[in-house]
Amino acid sequence: MKKITYLLLLAMIGHSTLEAQEIPANFQLLYEQSFDNITALEEFEMTDPKAWKISGKSQDLSLEIHQQSEYSPRVRSPFNIAIIRDRLFGSFVLEADLQQTGKEYGHRDLCLFFGMKDPANFYYVHIASIPDPHAHNIFLVNDEPRVAIGKTVSDGVDWGATDEWHKVKIVRDIEKGSIEVYFDDMSTPIMQTEDHHFNIGHIGFGTFDDVGKFDNIKIWGPEELAEPMDFFGN
């Protein structure tokens, strides 16, 4: 009875984690990182390693993008990216805590990347305060400047104060081509679309040109593939 009451409470406040929800039967926890040690940086490859650090105090550590990266993408796309090194994912459910530490303006953002084939071919989710053709949408980078492909998109998000954490979830099904993005409310997506350009690829975290923190990453899926490579060539 207590468990049922707890789940109902979580559903009512809209901030439940995936442990309180259904994961597809053929999915397993493939990756987990809470950044409790600075050696966690070794699991990531960045567009510019100098722009990233493990920050915080004691057991309250997280991955932080703290300055603009010295990186020039071949086509117009985000500058600040940290991918999970040597791992590929197909269909997945991703959960992470995000904190936007910059000033408030329309494009105040953090991004999540997936299906990454190379630095000019991938998807990314741009979560921002106000939507426009270049903000707060699901984007496709396909050997040309990014294009918004979201079919349904919310009116933006409230990042709040610079010390405020938010729960984000992405659900990707490569067979259906479906992409769903959730922000704090794990029952109603803020973005949805369908696209079949990329299936298996790297997953990453970052921002177009802002700053912020990432923590408590969990990724479920049917299988994880290994691919050692120098992704960004730095």
* Distance separating alpha carbons of residues 6 and 210, to the nearest angstrom: 36
With cut-offs at 50, 70 and 90, classify the pLDDT of residue 21: low
pLDDT in tens, 163-206: 999 999 999 999 999 999 999 999 999 999 999 999 999 999 99
pLDDT in tens, 51-76: 999 999 877 899 999 999 999 999 99
Among residues 185, 29, 174, 10, the alpha carbon closest in space to that of 94 is found at 29
* Distance separating alpha carbons of residues 229 and 45, to the nearest angstrom: 10
Stated length of the chain: 234
Give the full edge-to-edge strand order of the sheet including 202-207: 44-46, 80-84, 202-207, 109-118, 121-128, 137-142, 147-148
Residues 204 and 89: beta-carbon distance below 8 Å: no
Among residues 104, 17, 97, 110, the alpha carbon closest in space to that of 56 is found at 97
Rounded to an integer, the average pLDDT of 3-15 is: 37
* Distance separating alpha carbons of residues 165 and 30, to the nearest angstrom: 23
With cut-offs at 50, 70 and 90, classify the pLDDT of residue 17: low
With cut-offs at 50, 70 and 90, classify the pLDDT of residue 234: low
Determine the pLDDT at residue 41.
95
What ranges do the domains of the chain cover? Answer: 26-226
Mean pLDDT of the chain: 90
Half-sphere exposure of 112 (CA within 13 A, CB side): 25
Nearest 10 degrees: Cα torsion 219, 39, 201, 147: 90
User: What secondary structure does DSSP assign to 27-69, as a single string?
Assistant: -EEEEEE---SGGGGGGEEES-GGGEEEEEETTEEEEEE-S--
Residue 233 predicted with pLDDT over 90: no
Rounded to an integer, the average pLDDT of 215-231 is: 87
pLDDT in tens, 62-116: 999 999 999 999 999 999 999 999 899 999 999 999 999 999 999 999 999 999 9
Residues 91 and 175: beta-carbon distance below 8 Å: yes
Residues 137 and 126: beta-carbon distance below 8 Å: yes
Instruction: Out of 2.60.40.2300, 2.60.120.560, 2.60.40.10, 1.20.1250.20, select the CATH number for domain 26-226.
Output: 2.60.120.560
